[in-house]
Structure 1
Amino acid sequence: MEAKLVDLHIHSTCSDGYFTPEELVEKALQADLVAIAIADHDNVDAIATAQKIGAEKGLEVIAGVELSTQWYQYYDMHLLGYGFDPECPYLNRELSEFQDFRAGRNRQIIDRVNQKLAEEGREPIDPDAVRRLADGTIGRPHIAQALREGGYVEDNEEAFNRYLVPCNVPKRYFPVDDAIKLIQQSGGIAVLAHPPYITRERRLLEKLVAELVGLGLDGIEVYNNGSNMEDTDWLIKLARKHGLIITGGSDFHGDPGSNIEIGSGFRGMKIPYSCVDEIKSALHRRQQERV
């Protein structure tokens, strides 16, 4: 019997992904996945559509979101939320403020890129063209795609190095304790995303996880693109040490030229359905605590 596989960290056009929720359901089925979570940045708009289509086609779709957080020296530390109520007024009010900020930030980045292009004697990129490429919420990868398709750069790496990094506008972050509380008060569980992208120093990561557990952290994204097999084994032990659940995801965005595949990332990792079982068990325990 073949193992049931999942991908619990996917992005759609509702944030900075390249595929619509409908297309992601189809891609997941083509990859023989049995469950996914679309975890868009500060946005839950994809969930209802994906769950409806998933139910019709036999794909389990778990509510997900990815929040950008800060904790002392750790900026842009990502926190995943699972199993919350996507229609929770408190959650949507908080996310709406972040979405407004994100939209303004991306407009400013395009303005700065065009200013730099003008200084080079080159034509500006068209903001409307970037919006069409995004087919939803604009992210920096869509600006990079516009630069690439306009012939300004050869690839995304050059787009970021020459334009997007120098023209960046600082992001806004949730304090991580507020983000954990937001997810949990919306009925969900909070999971630390791709830990190796936070720090490669295990001593620091172990200290950070211990601090986050004190704030209510529920789990760790053990299966992730930043981890090799040794890292994965170490993260499993770290999670078990602190009584945390284990999850996993590819962080698939679908950007052209990327070698990250839905369901497997770029190392061909396999994310077991047991991750979904752990999420469900944690949600059940949380509900029992409230009775």
Structure 2
Amino acid sequence: MIDLHIHSTYSDGIYKPAELVAMAAAKGLKTIALADHDTVAGIDEALEAGQSRNVEVIPAVELSVQFDTYQDVHLLGYLIDHRDRIFLDKLAEFRTIRDQRGQAIIANINVKLQHEKKEAITYDEAVNFADGAFGRPHIARVLVNRGYAKDMQDAFERYLIPCDEPKRYFPMDEALAEIRRLGGIAVLAHPTSISEERKVLATVIGKLAGKGLQGVEVYNNMCNADESAFLARLAEDLGLAATGGSDFHGIEGGIEMGSGRGQLAIPHTLATALKNMHHL
């Protein structure tokens, strides 16, 4: 079995890349993909750990993208050149903007905390949880640690969502072109996060295929078996690769690496097909 969608402390996961590889080995996973949000800083650590643990690690990234009227579409780039200097510079600029957004969110939260007669939180507290790209889950962890929220979901509902600030996204055309330039394969993550209406999804994915999308995350935590079957048929009709992953962060209750909520069993043949596409 494999898991092609995992996050580490370099974005919004709670385990370091080497820890994730060790967990994968313990679960008998043969291949994983480290796909952190807007950063590739953890890949070399994961690759090194994979060699010692006999776990294949696929270099990947998950970009936050805007397409038409859809914001925060997630685009996975697999088998990319993660050491490309131009790409690294783009990600660094993107992370600077993420940091500025995070500081603004913290300021908004502190206004709310002041009204609640609670002590303010700090940027330094939150950023200490991040090895790479800083994001809202790191702020949520501070709120939980302070006792201001009972868990991550509660932190988001009570503080992060009402105190949010606008997020910057990669334009879809730019993101697809960049993954292609890096020699990678562009795959749409958890498609039903865009829409659960099948006609809408078929239209969106069809448009993206025409722009250079190469795959669809058919097997994921947001889909039931019937939805995955629909996505598999759609991918086959459009000539797109099928992939799958748990989107494991380590902070969601009931989600495990490799199996998700218990419904995932992603065959190694999907990783093989992805690599075969890469070599074409």
Does the alignment reach a TM-score above 0.5? yes
Cα deviation digits, residues 22-70 of structure 1 (max 9, x gap): 1111111111100100000110011111111101221100010000001
Q: In terms of mean alpha carbon deviation, does 190-199 or 141-150 score higher?
A: 141-150
Q: Which residue of 1 aligns with 2:121?
A: 125
Shift of 1:136: 4.5
- The letter of the residue matching 1:279 is L
Question: Aligned partners of 1:138, 1:175: CA distance in 2, in Å?
Answer: 20
Structure 1 runs of 4+ aligned residues shifted over 4 Å read: none
Given that residues 91 and 183 in structure 1 are in contact (C-alpha distance below 8 angstroms), is that contact kept between their aligned partners in structure 2?
no
Q: Which residue of 2 aligns with 1:266?
A: 261
After superposition, residues 55-94 of structure 1 pair within 5 angstroms as 55-94=51-90
Shift of 1:76: 0.3
Question: Aligned partners of 1:79, 1:141: CA distance in 2, in Å?
Answer: 19
Question: Aligned partners of 2:250, 2:36: CA distance in 1, in Å?
Answer: 13
Q: Aligned-residue CA RMSD in angstroms?
A: 1.3
- TM-score normalised over the length of structure 2: 0.96
Structure 1 residues 89 and 137, CA gap change in structure 2 (3 angstroms) = closer
Q: Which residue of 2 aligns with 1:289?
A: none
- SS of structure 2 residue aligned to 1:116: helix
Q: Which residue of 2 aligns with 1:101?
A: 97
Question: Aligned partners of 1:32, 1:157: CA distance in 2, in Å?
Answer: 30
- The letter of the residue matching 1:106 is G
Shift of 1:143: 1.5
After superposition, residues 160-175 of structure 1 pair within 5 angstroms as 160-175=156-171
Q: Which residue of 2 aligns with 1:116?
A: 112
- From 269, 276, 279, the counterpart of 2:271: 276
Cα deviation digits, residues 224-265 of structure 1 (max 9, x gap): 00111111111110000000001110000011x521111111
Does residue 40 (structure 1) correspond to residue 29 (structure 2)? The answer is: no
Given that residues 143 and 155 in structure 2 are in contact (C-alpha distance below 8 angstroms), is that contact kept between their aligned partners in structure 1?
yes
Q: In terms of mean alpha carbon deviation, does 67-76 or 111-120 score higher?
A: 111-120
- SS of structure 2 residue aligned to 1:19: coil
- SS of structure 1 residue aligned to 2:267: coil
After superposition, residues 1-291 of structure 1 pair within 5 angstroms as 5-255=1-251, 258-285=253-280
Given that residues 90 and 186 in structure 1 are in contact (C-alpha distance below 8 angstroms), is that contact kept between their aligned partners in structure 2?
no
- SS of structure 2 residue aligned to 1:252: coil
Question: Aligned partners of 1:60, 1:10: CA distance in 2, in Å?
Answer: 13
Question: Aligned partners of 1:116, 1:213: CA distance in 2, in Å?
Answer: 44
Equivalent residues, number: 280
Given that residues 225 and 267 in structure 1 are in contact (C-alpha distance below 8 angstroms), is that contact kept between their aligned partners in structure 2?
no
Note the residue ranges of structure 2 that are not aligned, 5 or more in a row: none
Question: Aligned partners of 2:16, 2:152: CA distance in 1, in Å?
Answer: 21
Question: Aligned partners of 2:100, 2:159: CA distance in 1, in Å?
Answer: 18
Structure 1 residues 132 and 6, CA gap change in structure 2 (3 angstroms) = same
Note the residue ranges of structure 1 that are not aligned, 5 or more in a row: 286-291
Q: Percent identity?
A: 47
Question: Aligned partners of 1:45, 1:119: CA distance in 2, in Å?
Answer: 38
- TM-score normalised over the length of structure 1: 0.93
Given that residues 41 and 65 in structure 1 are in contact (C-alpha distance below 8 angstroms), is that contact kept between their aligned partners in structure 2?
yes
Shift of 1:156: 2.1
Shift of 1:135: 4.8
Question: Aligned partners of 2:167, 2:75: CA distance in 1, in Å?
Answer: 15
